[in-house]
Structure 1
Amino acid sequence: MAAAQVDIPADWDVNNSAIVHSNDPDKIYREYDHLRRQCPVAHVDAHDGYWILTKYDDVKEVASNNEKFISYLCAVVPADPRGIRRPLKFDGENHKPYRLAVDRTLKPARLRRLEPIIRGHCERELQALIDVGGGDIYEDFAAKWTSWVEKEWLNLDEEDSALLVESFSPFVYAWRTGDWATVKKWSEAWYGIANRVVAARKEKPLDPEIDPASSLLLERDSDGNPLDEEHIIGCIRQIVIIAMVAPTIVITAITKHLSEDKELQNKLRNDRSLLPAAIEEFIRLHVPSPEEPITVVYSAANRDPDQFPDPHKFILGRDNISTHLGFGKGIHRCAGASLARMMIRVYLETILDKCSDWDQEGEIVYAKLPEVGPTSCPFKLYKA
């Protein structure tokens, strides 16, 4: 799908641009195109000032050079106003034990065991929408389903699982509207979950291959010492958000995309062998994280025509699709990439099996910074 044509006036100023002030992805992508041609390294005054990189090669270089560019001081724009720094954003040697502990719990064997459980949650939550003829894919399906995925990854008990499902949507809405009192309320609730999980695993550890908290408690820093418990709790709190915020947006964007491209929808329904290639192209097009350390704009890099010809089009089977930066690059690449790919595949298989078609039915609401993409998108769903 091509981005809508948006005229760029002669007096255009990035400080007054859609990039900074709009939630409309088409306008944002068009202005990224303009910057890529005219000023690929641009400065924005908002949010205490930051630079935007929009060319693929520049973004890849900065994201890969983890000795020169760090993420600990500022991981996203706008930065967390509370000044919180969590372990997966640590740099260098301080980062390694946390990343090793998390990666240990997302090996292929673990994902294979998780898949039928995650698929069951997906089928249940999607069927609830199908039974009533449709609903908001983001609010009524994806936000709930991704919370259940987190429950399985972290091995939460039923009470904390229910709290996570209840809190995700209001937390994200509060963050994007600047309601910091509500953000604090739910963030503290998530810290409560993290504290309870870590306390439970200290008392009775689980297999570190299947449990993040147990894995973190087993890990040692570069001096051979156990990781600081405060940082372990912070890492679990960070994991809480990993499998929820970005996947909900991507799933909603994919659903919208397929509602507008019936030919592609039917092609994928009739030939599931095309799904792996389709998933990578969806991730390239709809990565929701525009800015990372030094504001490397992944969503701009993935639409750089020098790297991806016809960058705004969905092209199944791109020769160089493996080079997309949808999951970032370098040591801070997305920790949950393999889980995210599995989630998207399970979702597509489920909705293509259960629905003969779907159509957008209602207003689309788009995310504010730091994400790009739909956060409310009602659909009418047709049973298969």
Structure 2
Amino acid sequence: MTRQHPESGPEGDDRRAAHDFDPVRPGETFTSAHEEFAQLRPRCPIARSQEYGGFWAALGYDEVLSVITDIEHFTTSKQNAIPKFAFTGVRPPLHLDPPEHLAYRRVINAFFTPPKMRAMEPKARAVAVDLLDPLIDARWVDVCKQYAHKFPAAVFAHFFNLDVAVSAEIKDVSGEYVDAIQVLNHEVVIRLSRRLYEIAQGIIDDRRAGDYDPDDDLTAALLAAEYQGAPLPEAMVLGCVRQLIVTGMVAPSVFTGNMFVHLSRDTDLQDRLRAEPQLIPAAIEEFLRLYSPYRGMARTAREDVVLSGQLIRKDDPIALVYTSANRDERVFPDGDNFVLHRPNIAQHISFGRGTHSCPGAPLARMMMRITLEEALARSTAFRPAGEPEMAIWAEWGTRSVPLDFVRA
């Protein structure tokens, strides 16, 4: 990794017209994106695509880490996703840089503490069992559509103290919203985003009218919080709730499917985890490294800057391709393969790093652990029953995973 001021970097920016990869190429398989990134990383760890109006893509581990930790040269407030789709308002904390974002992060972080996660676990486990039991009895299932798409919505209903019907609507609308983003249907994106704002406003109105304890309800805590001696602005609280109710829906869905694909193809590992469930947390960390779903989150250059020899112009967006970075052989030898108890597994950046690292990581880890514990305990085997269907950029991962379960 090298970061320089432009005057000490290359003359000009000839590679700005390059087209190293196509993020919307059809026919992606479970391995094709990783094969392409493995070829690109050694020759252009900062790659270029002309899709979505043109953008840079940080593919190497050091390059991604440099961008997400360098808040002096890269901002999240201008364009934080590729393609750009935030047309309907500022949504803290993701859309804010320090120090403003800290007012929201302090409130959010307080709801992902170990005691709160322990209190959530029985509710999350009950949801998992209720969803998994009938699927394992049915044998042939689509584990994404029948479990992974429903589990996060139900858990978040408990986490946000929401009615299950409201959470289900959030899941349905956010799913359509993501689909519209992927095909750049701006009209539909704006319409569905406004609906998500309406749902968020309804949650806020309910909290204002009800007797909710800010220690037990995240929305109530945001309403009670202050920044520089004044309540958080109403529009910002609305944007924050709007961000929170959607963020936890998509990535857990595709990642859960990724884990099931891997285990259905690696029966030795599946049997080992079934026999030694105490290994599941370690396995999840390696799954997080191997199958990170994020490749479209982004930053924008505040000024001209050289990163690993490449000139990034002021206002150029740069995608943070965690999907690629977590397999960088310079950091993770044998990076395309599953290695249980990998010595440097703590270095993976599936939840980001620094200012905008994912506050919901403890809940995500708990959800994944419960999913594997309950699925493995209730089955003697599960096998592929068809090819997985893949999501398209900005997420990497599965949308459909047909499996054949054998009940324990």
Q: TM-score scaled by structure 2?
A: 0.86
**What displacement does 1:357 show?**
1.0
- The one of 127, 132, 137 equivalent to 1:131 is 137
The letter for the 2-side match of 1:106 is: F
Aligned residue for 2:312?
Answer: none
How many residues align structurally?
371
Distance in structure 2 (CA, Å) of the matches to 1:112 and 1:249: 24
Q: Using the TM superposition, name which of 159-168 and 85-94 deviates more.
A: 159-168
Distance in structure 2 (CA, Å) of the matches to 1:133 and 1:101: 43
The letter for the 2-side match of 1:95 is: H
Q: Deviations over 1:144-192 (max 9, x none)?
A: 1111111111111244234235445444434434455554454333222
Aligned residue for 2:236?
Answer: 231
Distance in structure 2 (CA, Å) of the matches to 1:30 and 1:19: 13
Residue 93 of structure 2 aligns to a residue whose secondary structure is helix
Identity %: 33
Indicate yes or no: 2:37 matched with 1:32: yes
- The one of 146, 149, 152 equivalent to 2:152 is 146
Matches within 5 A, 1:1-384: 15=19, 17-22=21-26, 23-80=28-85, 82=87, 84-89=89-94, 90-221=96-227, 223-292=228-297, 293=299, 294-384=318-408
Aligned residues of 2:200 and 2:242 also touching (Cα < 8 A): yes
**What displacement does 1:205 show?**
4.6
> Which runs of 5 or more structure 1 residues have no equivalent in the other structure?
1-12
Q: Deviations over 1:194-246 (max 9, x none)?
A: 1111112223352323311111112222x221111111111111111122100
Aligned residue for 1:10?
Answer: none
Q: Deviations over 1:95-122 (max 9, x none)?
A: 1111111111111111111111011111
Distance 1:191 1:128, change over 3 A: farther
Aligned residues of 1:148 and 1:165 also touching (Cα < 8 A): no
> Which runs of 5 or more structure 2 residues have no equivalent in the other structure?
1-16, 300-317
Distance in structure 2 (CA, Å) of the matches to 1:183 and 1:147: 20
Distance in structure 2 (CA, Å) of the matches to 1:354 and 1:182: 41
Aligned residues of 2:292 and 2:350 also touching (Cα < 8 A): yes
Residue 93 of structure 1 aligns to a residue whose secondary structure is coil
From the two aligned structures, give the one with the greater helix fraction: 1
**What displacement does 1:341 show?**
0.3
The letter for the 1-side match of 2:341 is: G
Aligned residues of 2:20 and 2:49 also touching (Cα < 8 A): no
**What displacement does 1:355 show?**
1.4
**What displacement does 1:338 show?**
0.6
**What displacement does 1:17 show?**
3.1
Q: Identify the structure with bigger relative contact order (alpha carbons < 8 Å, sequence gap 6+).
A: 2
Aligned residues of 1:18 and 1:28 also touching (Cα < 8 A): no
Q: TM-score scaled by structure 1?
A: 0.91
Q: Deviations over 1:5-52 (max 9, x none)?
A: xxxxxxxx9737354524335222122122211122222222122111
Distance in structure 2 (CA, Å) of the matches to 1:158 and 1:31: 40
The letter for the 2-side match of 1:341 is: R
Distance 1:383 1:172, change over 3 A: farther
Distance in structure 2 (CA, Å) of the matches to 1:141 and 1:280: 21
Q: Deviations over 1:53-98 (max 9, x none)?
A: 1221121111112232111111111110636431122111111111
Query: What RMSD in Å do the two structures reach over aligned CA positions?
Result: 2.0
The letter for the 1-side match of 2:296 is: E
From the two aligned structures, give the one with the greater strand fraction: 2
